[in-house]
Amino acid sequence: MQLYNTLSAEERAVMIDDAGKQRLTLSFYAYAKIEDPKKFRDDLFLAWNALDALGRIYVANEGINAQMSIPEENLEAFRATLEVYDFMKGIRLNEAVEHDDHSFLKLTIKVRHKIVADGLNDETFDVTNIGVHLKAKEFNEILDDPNTIVVDFRNHYESEVGHFKNAITPDVETFRESLPIINEQLQNHKEDKNLVMYCTGGIRCEKASAYFKHQGFKNVFQLEGGIINYAKQIEAEGLESKFIGKNFVFDNRLGERITDDIISQCHQCGKPCDNHTNCENDGCHLLFIQCDECKAAMENCCSTECLEIIHMPLVDQVRLRTGKQVGNKVFRKGKSENLKFKHSGELPNAALAEVEKPADIRQKIKVKKVLLGKAEHYYVKAQVGQFTVENQEVKVGDKILISGPTTGNQELVLDKIIVDGAETQTAKIGDKVTFEVPFRIRLSDKIYKILE
């Protein structure tokens, strides 16, 4: 019975690329009483490993907190593994604004004392007496109320690249630090103000809202599903985004763009930039913002000292970092005297720049076309795509268009097609047809026949 990863991150990345399947990045959480977290953890690992699910998950007696990457084709099967547990029936899965096949490269499920390190004694207050959940439209409306105080319950490196306008952004490195600071700062507004809070996916606010109600705050509200769900709702409903910039995420992407505003600076040169990186020196791993020019000049390092270290022999690098606690503190840093343009605490509401948009090579091609079918698979090494023919026949010599949100619009002429392992001149409705495709395709792609 396998209860651990057998592949390295590098090996997993190659497997993902070779599979050529669309993956979804999502997150969810649930507070519930779990009697045996270790058994719960092992059962989840077995179920999810079989579905090629990856991610970083924490389980505890108080519930589960998960950020994951799942093959799109396995989404419903994954939901079924959650429905086994009463407390996760119908649970909301926060899908990422921007999906990335490499957002997670291992399945890590850890048993912890708590699913979020909040430093609170849950026995001293009612953790179920939470604040009012607000959807995006309601959240926007309450932010316009002059009696509203909005608080960002994320850390300094998260709020620096993106936050709600006029939010209080505590200069903290951990969630637990922010609770007493905000409580003290707002002591005189327990009854006369709306205390509105938000975080990445909602889990921090779930506990924080109950804590602040226990502290005597009368009007406590929280953003339902956090920034991730807010971004989905404003797009779907055509609402104004009162969030500016990027939403920091704790996976290999390190951020997903909500608006085109850049509100932070490269920590080394001061150029408008909101791309996080980790120092290349394994003995440092400082999390900081670095523009492309500084990344090239400094080779992903935060300082000249670290730049010198990465060019040392490996044995000397290991000697220098022996005894230092690194790696697991990769997201807890983000401050250093080497970072001249680091900002935290009170942050601007105005953009320093906008994202430069590349030439749009994916604009829809205005040609007459008819839908043939959809993509089923892509064999990366062979550069062969497989499609299901759904609407009409396709023949050798046909000019086709493959279109999708990631692939864009790509045209090619079929000079050879294969059905059921045999070369043929015509593929009929219901056939699974394969042919060479000199670019990567996704499961969301459609195939069209171009009409001359």
**Coil, helix or strand at residue 282:** coil
301: annotated active-site residue: no
Q: How many C-beta atoms lie closer than 10 Å to residue 320's C-beta?
A: 14
310 vs 407: CA distance, rounded Å: 37
- Phi, psi for 289 (deg, rounded to 5): -95, 130
The single residue of 199, 273, 291, 294 carrying the catalytic annotation is: 199
Q: Reduce the DSSP state of residue 84 to 3 states and report it.
A: coil
The alpha carbon of 135 is separated from its chain's Cα centroid by a whole number of angstroms, namely 20
CB 254 within 8 A of CB 276: yes
**Structure-block tokens of residue 449:** 């026949």
- In whole angstroms, what is the distance from residue 110 CA to residue 121 CA? 21
The angle formed by the CA atoms of residues 407, 239 and 133, to the nearest 5 degrees, is 110
Alpha-carbon distance of 288 to 276, in angstroms, equals 5
Q: Is 371 exposed, middle or buried (0-12, 13-18, 19+ CB in 10 A)?
A: middle
Q: How many CA atoms lie within 13 A of 255 on its CB side?
A: 25
Q: How far is CA 113 from CA 35, 46, 61, 116, 324, in A?
A: 13, 22, 7, 9, 25
Q: List the structure tokens of 314.
A: 């490996």
Count CB neighbours of 341 within 10 A.
15
Distance CA 6, CA 174 (A): 32
For residues 81 and 29, what is the distance between their CA atoms, to the nearest angstrom? 14
* Residues carrying an active site annotation: 199
